[in-house]
Structure 1
Amino acid sequence: MSEAAVLNSSAPVKHPRLVLLAVCALALMSTMGVAMPYPILAPIFVGGPVDGFTHFAGLDPKLLMGLALAANPLGILVGSLFVGPLSDRYGRRAVLSVTLSCNLVGYLLTAVALDQRWYLLFVLARFGTGLTEGNIAVARALIADLHEHIDRTQAFAALNACLYMGWLIGPLVGGLTLPLGDGVPFVLAGLAMLPCLLILGLAVPPSPHRDGPLNLLQAMREKQALGLLKQDKVLAALFAMQLSYSFGINSLYEFAPLWMLENLGLDSSGIAWVTAAQCFAMTSASLLAGKLPRSHRPLRRAAVMALLASFGLTALALLPGWGGVVAIVGLGVPLAFYNAVLPAWMSERFAVHGQGRVMGLLSTVFFLANVMVALSGGLISLLSTRWIMALGGLTCITAALLLLRMARREEQRP
């Protein structure tokens, strides 16, 4: 059997709709844990007490917050190189069970670090948790495996809707429970992994092992996601485009809470409600995207969404007060449509490389941009968060232009 046939073959699925529902539930609860910290880190560091945690080593709290923001996506970046590809080799359910268990331990360590005010442990725990939070690539691969039973775009739209619901519920839980103690949101995030493990065991069938290296380290070295850039020139071009787009989007995700704190004086609860409104818009738009007719020019549709995202980010750089909040919420619509279209196209276009590996590359790009934004944004925020949004708008325009060029090339391909 050829490599392409092996990578595209999958075990028969008796109840594909049930598996889709289970994967969506896993994504919802797992994303809640990832999303909880975003509205609370700005109040913890910038609005928190003056102590050894918020002024560690005499550094500015904004810089410390930027490092803390970068630690988690840096861990996800490293983990995404291997988690998705390893699920191609060892099975989706096996890899998910390990990553969810590690997430549970990581969240509890983070809570301990906050309770004891140990900044270094907090950063290390956020990094360690991130190593296994890249399992969204495995969830996307599971969805792609169902393509013979469920339309790809509809399945990805349903998955994305649940991811956005997690981003809606997670910040709300984090913002509303922060007054109970800085570590409480992370304890709740850890406890959310328990029902995830239960659903995984009951509803997601085991998948067969693929032929390949039996040694774990050998498999990680040979199948890591970035190796695809040498194998496929189109994927290499897509990597550059997606990095530019993800930089802009992460400018919003990472620094919108600080923007709201600085420009409106919102506390963790207020930031959580605005974030929830944005995620509600994303969830609604994602459900709508799944019902629209399949586009014959998906890359052009994605380019339009990237352009609209650039307009929203530019508005955040210019608009005063509550006008910016309208932009934050409205940005949820183009982001949702983009995320429904591009992964579905990638799973079909590059299936020969293995769904776990391709989806792992997509996660790798996103979290590489996440780290870049967190580190650079921590410095830029010393001037103004509006500059961060302006830079994000510029990178999204660049991504839209690159997508249009790629679309023309793909449409000419036999």
Structure 2
Amino acid sequence: MNPLQTPAPSLSGTVAATLDRAGFTRAQFWVLMIILAGMFFDTLEQNSVGAMGTNLKLALGISDAQLTLVNTATVLGGLVGRLLGGWLADRYGRRLSLSFNLLVYSLGGLVSAVALNYEMLLASRFVVGIGLGGEFTIGIAMLSEMVATRRRGALVAVLNVGSGGVGNFLSYGLFFLLLGPLAPALGGDGLAWRWTFVLLAAPALLVVVYRRRLPETPRFLLSKGRVDDANRSLAILTSSSLRPPASTPSGPLTTDDIPVRQLRSSPAAVFARSVRARTAAIGTASWMAFGAQVTLNFLMPTLLVQRGYSISESLLFTMIMNSGSLLGACAAALLAGRVGRRVAVGGAGVLGCLTAVAFAVFADSTPLILVLGALLQFFTMITNTTLAVWSPELYPTAIRGSGTSIVNGIGNIAGAVMPFLAVALFARYDMAGVFGMVAVMYALLVAASRFAPETRGSSLEEINENVAPAADTGTPSRR
């Protein structure tokens, strides 16, 4: 610890101890499923424009650059959504923010389905991005506050198994069916993409209804001084049902458990002296990891078409490659409980870098494209899933939503910028240029990950015990 910093008083571990004793309850299982359902549709929506790129270009008469701008609008909307969602989560609660995000992106998706021109599509995807932005980051922050310490890493990683793993794999299978064999029944290539947007948005609206049953996290409620509500939430999470108790339980939490000294609930506090190094390290790692993932998922179908494959073949091949995403997310969930965050990110980053180099040099046939593409997605998903586990652990409750959203938002910016560079490199150097860029990004990811603290096996209170000195809080008083 920096000797110039004044340590905050030791934070209460009552919430952690209670959740640790309870283990993984049935109520927590349903919390996991409800959060995961929204993230699954999030992934389908995020991959949709890349999968339907050729259809959109033909239907709306747009160029590759304009199509890339549609992706950029979604990503920039995601940045706005992450900042807004993080602020809402820290100010008004994780549950409210999560429902707001899902509702916004569902409505934006329906507008995309009826887009009359390029400009309308562009605006609708920006709205979709706002909803997508906070969905994942607030979900992982929320779950990390609601489960036992030793299960935290694996359970948060499971969210990426369902969204980034199963979601990425099934999304291209779904798009292959809707835009291939089922396209004639949906009105042909000119209308199939519209029905695809409808089919992605409509089910997500149902998840909004079910999310009303989610309890607020006890840690957030304690940070606001709401002890009775925190006890009620803790009682739900340690039970076998999401049904609230008939009366307010006496519970283990008292006013002594309210954090005495906290960072202010403000996005600016993410750059306070006590957490600045964490933000820089994980933010840089997120830029490299998320930028690489978006580049691969968004451009791969288009790159394959330009290499001479048909639309159906490109979607099928991308789906096969994304089997690596599913396996990588599962591997990350297993690693989360067995090795440290830095080891998982560093190891997968090195192997991802080597695989990208191999793709750039050797991927000149269909079998090699499929095998190396799947391997790259495997290592990509290990790094992204582990960063998803790591980021909410690095911030205290008062700014956990904003901190998680901002460092992931930095990756969002990369997702907007890097595909443009990848398109330029592809035009000049073909596949070697794109995957050479990805290799460099993974090398920088490994370097950045070395500067973030290890968090495996520690409670959220232990990790953040000394990150709120008086100089950062302004007014160190109870709420």
- Structure 2 Cα separation of the partners of residues 21 and 304 of structure 1: 30
More displaced, 356-365 or 341-350? 341-350
Q: Which runs of 5+ in 2 are unaligned?
A: 1-7, 20-24, 226-263, 457-462, 467-479
Give how far 1:374 is off: 3.0
- Structure 1 Cα separation of the partners of residues 440 and 347 of structure 2: 15
The one of 24, 29, 33 aligned to 1:21? 33
What is residue 218 of structure 1 aligned with on the other side? none
- Structure 2 Cα separation of the partners of residues 361 and 130 of structure 1: 15
TM normalised by structure 2 equals 0.72
Cα distance change, pair 6–362 in 1 and its aligned pair in 2 (3 A): farther
What is residue 186 of structure 1 aligned with on the other side? 197
The one of 406, 430, 435 aligned to 1:389? 435
The one of 299, 303, 319 aligned to 1:259? 303
- Structure 2 Cα separation of the partners of residues 41 and 286 of structure 1: 26
The one of 215, 238, 243 aligned to 1:205? 215
Give how far 1:362 is off: 3.3
What is residue 363 of structure 1 aligned with on the other side? 408
What is residue 245 of structure 1 aligned with on the other side? 289
Give how far 1:406 is off: 5.3
What is residue 30 of structure 1 aligned with on the other side? 42
What is residue 271 of structure 2 aligned with on the other side? 229
1:39 equivalent in alignment to 2:40: no
8 Å CA contact retained: 1:255, 1:385: no
Deviations, residues 6-46 of structure 1 (Å, cap 9, x unaligned): 9996998982122112222222233222222221114432x
What is residue 337 of structure 1 aligned with on the other side? 382
Deviations, residues 113-146 of structure 1 (Å, cap 9, x unaligned): 1xx3x00111111111101111111111121112
The one of 97, 100, 117 aligned to 1:98? 100
What is residue 177 of structure 2 aligned with on the other side? 176
Give how far 1:101 is off: 1.7
Alignment RMSD (CA, Å): 3.2
- Structure 2 Cα separation of the partners of residues 176 and 244 of structure 1: 32
Tell me, what secondary structure is at the counterpart of 1:140?
Answer: helix
More displaced, 347-356 or 326-335? 347-356
- Structure 1 Cα separation of the partners of residues 330 and 51 of structure 2: 25
1:126 equivalent in alignment to 2:125: yes
**Residue type of the partner of 2:139?**
A
The one of 24, 37, 61 aligned to 1:54? 61
Percent identical across equivalent pairs?
17
Counterpart mapping for 1:296-375 below 5 A: 297-318=340-361, 319-322=363-366, 323-351=368-396, 354-375=399-420
More displaced, 101-110 or 269-278? 269-278
1:81 equivalent in alignment to 2:88: no
**Residue type of the partner of 1:402?**
A
Deviations, residues 295-315 of structure 1 (Å, cap 9, x unaligned): 454213211111222223223
What is residue 107 of structure 1 aligned with on the other side? 109
- Structure 2 Cα separation of the partners of residues 125 and 74 of structure 1: 12
Give how far 1:369 is off: 0.6
Give how far 1:321 is off: 3.1
What is residue 400 of structure 1 aligned with on the other side? 446
- Structure 2 Cα separation of the partners of residues 326 and 296 of structure 1: 27
When Rg is computed on C-alpha atoms for both structures, the one with the higher figure is 2
- Structure 2 Cα separation of the partners of residues 235 and 142 of structure 1: 19
8 Å CA contact retained: 1:285, 1:333: yes
Q: Which runs of 5+ in 1 are unaligned?
A: 56-60, 213-221
1:273 equivalent in alignment to 2:273: no
**Residue type of the partner of 2:197?**
F
8 Å CA contact retained: 1:225, 1:358: yes
8 Å CA contact retained: 1:279, 1:332: yes
8 Å CA contact retained: 1:29, 1:166: yes
Q: Point out the structure with the larger helix share.
A: 1
